[in-house]
Amino acid sequence: MIHLNNPQQTIPLSQLAEQHKAIVHACSAGGALKQKLLNMGFIPGAEILMIRNAPLRDPIEIGIQNYFLSLRRSEAEMILVEQL
């Protein structure tokens, strides 16, 4: 597990620039959405890569745990990350 250096410098995943890496800090979603995000691998300490935004900036493509997935920008807002 990767330890976070300075959790005060967290940003929502939706604000991470393309081709930048980050570490998941927390997920502020609730209920079934939180469980869905955790099941997809957005657990604290997981390393992610922001691959790209769609032409209209929604959805976004993320690399996490050796696979790629697309998230709605509204879902990405609920995942706090620390940039690497």
Ranges of H-type helices in 1-84: 31-39, 73-76
Tokens representing 43 are: 């657990």
33-59 pLDDT per residue, tens: 999 999 999 999 999 999 998 888 889
The pTM for the full model equals 0.83
SS3 7: helix
Q: Residue ranges per domain, the chain?
A: 7-83
pLDDT of the residue at 5 = 54
CATH node for 7-83:
2.30.30.90
pLDDT of the residue at 81 = 96
pLDDT of the residue at 7 = 53
